[in-house]
Amino acid sequence: MTRLVPTAEMTLGPFFPREFAEGANDLARGAAGEVIEVTGRVAELDGRPLDNVVLEIWQADAGGRLDNPAFPGWGRAATNAQGEYRFRTIRPGAIAGRAPHINFLILYSGLMRQLQTVMFFGTSGDPVLQAVDASRRHRLIGAPVGPNAYRFDIRLRGGEETPFFDD
């Protein structure tokens, strides 16, 4: 039986077209559920914010469904010169066996491969959150910063480094 080796991943580079990075960060339009805003800052070693980092998210709808034709579940944003990104979406419901969460994928110059992390809404039991050392779990919890607004900062390296997953 055919078995092909996956193509080697390579860095996105610094020049991902603006046209691609823009216009896909609002998942909430026309979708049922509680609209939330997720913002954050992406920084490298020493906390320096990074411009034009591409973030993609994948999440369930308000009812915990991943195959709702009326809700895309997927979005893309890029950071500005201050390292800030913003998504407008729907608060995800729980999927069987999982706590509500938003999957994040990060692509950037200097990252030889994609990085994967997850934002949770609380510390309640989730097998992916449990896989992370207890001392680092708080880095995966979105911080409420206003009505229906969450802050999820991502530190790629050093200091309060965000936990990333290997799959």
Contact positions toward other proteins, by CB under 8 A? 1-20, 24, 44-46, 48, 50-52, 56, 58, 60, 66-67, 72-75, 95-98, 101, 103, 105, 107-116, 127-128, 131-133, 136, 156-158, 161-167
* Distance, CA of 127 to CA of 147 (rounded, Å): 28
Q: Which is nearer to other proteins, 127 or 147 (CB)?
A: 127
Selection from 22, 26, 46, 49 nearest residue 36 by Cα: 26
* Distance, CA of 55 to CA of 106 (rounded, Å): 5
* Distance, CA of 153 to CA of 61 (rounded, Å): 23
Q: Which is nearer to other proteins, 23 or 145 (CB)?
A: 23
How far apart are CB 146 and other proteins at their closest, in Å?
26
Q: Which is nearer to other proteins, 144 or 158 (CB)?
A: 158
How far apart are CB 1 and other proteins at their closest, in Å?
7
How far apart are CB 145 and other proteins at their closest, in Å?
25
Query: How many Å is the maximal CA-CA distance in the chain?
Result: 54
User: Which of left, alpha, beta for 131 (phi over 0: left; psi -120 to 50: alpha)?
Assistant: alpha
